[in-house]
Amino acid sequence: MTDYAEEQRNELEAIESIYPDSFTVLSEVPTSFTITVTSDAGENDETIEVTLQFTYVEKYPDEVPLWEIYSQENLEDSDAEGILTLLQQQAEENLGMVMIFTLVTAVQDKLNELVDEIKNRREEEKRRKEEAAEEAEKVLFQGTVVTIENFLSWKAKFELGRLNSQEKSYLRPITILTHQIYSSWKILETVLKWTSPSSRTLRNSTWMKTTLTLTLWHWAVMRTERGRGQICFQILFKIL
């Protein structure tokens, strides 16, 4: 018949001699104690520290002991879960034998791995930030690609900024209508497949001026009876 109490006492004495500075007895019935495990020093002399609490069950080592993380330092929660999983795996593999030293050694090795992983995470984060800064710098120097659409939009805003407040109030509806007409023309161009490179620039300029002229003319006629036709014609000459 196995004397579980004797095996537990013998292991406890051995553990205390192996970890004299990090071993602490919490209670004698049931036997419960803590062992503090510290990783090797990593980058900038940083370490990870975990204090494990073990509690013997009646039939240990034929049954696994109870364990938990008593305290932790520089250990992320996700890594703490990994340590608990590791303890479970090691305990199942060593069932029937005293195992505290084996469990603590496995945790020690895992903490050393985590120190290296933390270094790699920081290097990866630094690399991502540098790449993001480089992309932002490229965008800053590259600027916005000029297209017919955004150039005309910029030109309309630029010309609008040169007008006085009264002229702006008359021109704003005209600008909106002009862009609507131009958008419709672009759809028609796509349908008819007008793709001649030699005539594209001249066609765009001519169309824009023609559309704006007709729109302003229409606006002037509609406003003549209110004494605003003259202002619309003045705007027309400023832009064209």
150 or 20: which leads in pLDDT: 20
Q: Where are the domains of the chain?
A: 4-120, 148-239
- 215: which 2 tokens? 């729109």
| pLDDT of 88 strictly over 90 | yes
- Percent of the chain at pLDDT > 90 equals 37
pLDDT of amino acid 229? 46
Mean pLDDT of 27-51: 88
Rounded to whole angstroms, the Cα distance separating 216 from 210 reads 10
Mean pLDDT of 101-129: 88
| pLDDT of 91 strictly over 90 | yes
Confidence tier at 23 by pLDDT (50, 70, 90): very high
| Residues contacting residue 24 through CB under 8 Å, at least 6 positions apart | 33, 34, 35
Q: Yes or no: is domain 4-120 CATH 3.90.1150.10?
A: no
Q: Check whether the bond before 197 is cis (ω within 30° of 0).
A: no
| pLDDT of 205 strictly over 90 | no
| Residues contacting residue 107 through CB under 8 Å, at least 6 positions apart | 37, 50, 52, 83, 86, 87
pLDDT of amino acid 239? 47
Q: Check whether the bond before 173 is cis (ω within 30° of 0).
A: no
| pLDDT of 202 strictly over 90 | no
Burial (CB < 10 A; 0-12, 13-18, 19+), residue 8, is buried
